[in-house]
A = this chain, B = another copy of it.
Amino acid sequence: MTAREAVERFVSDGDTIYSGFNIISFALTNEIIRQGVKGLKAVAGSVTPNVTIMSIDGNVDRIETGYLSGTLRSKPFQEMMRDGRVKWNDYTNMTITLRLMAGGLGMPFICANSFLGTDYLLPETMNHSRSLQEDRRREDGSVAPPYAVINSPFDGRKALLYPALKPDVAIVHCQRADEEGNVQVWGPQADTKWGLWSSKNVLVTAEEIVPRSVISTEPHFTIAPGFKVSAVIHEPWGAHPGGLNGYYRADRSWYELTGAGMTTWESAREYLDEWVYGTEDHSEYISRYKKRFGEELLNSLRVKEFMGPEQPARYGWR
Contact = CB atoms under 8 A, between A and B. Distances in A.
Interface of A: 98, 102, 105-113, 138, 144-145, 148, 150, 152-157, 159, 161, 163, 175-176, 184, 186-187, 210-211, 213-214, 217-218, 220-221, 243, 245-247, 249, 303-318
A312 B314 CA distance: 12
Q: Quick one: copies of this chain in the complex?
A: 2
A141 to B, nearest CB: 13
Given A186-B220, A310-B217, A245 B152 contact: no
Contacts of A112: 107
Interface centre among A109, A161, A163, A316 (most CB of B within 10 A): A316
Contacts of A307: 217, 314-316
Q: Which 8 A-B pairs have the closest CB atoms?
A: A303-B316, A148-B153, A107-B111, A306-B314, A306-B316, A307-B315, A217-B310, A246-B316
Nearest to A140: B156
B217 A308 contact: yes
B155 A144 contact: yes
A80 to B, nearest CB: 28
Contacts of A310: 211, 213-214, 217-218
B314 A308 contact: yes
A208 B184 CA distance: 28
Contacts of A217: 307-311
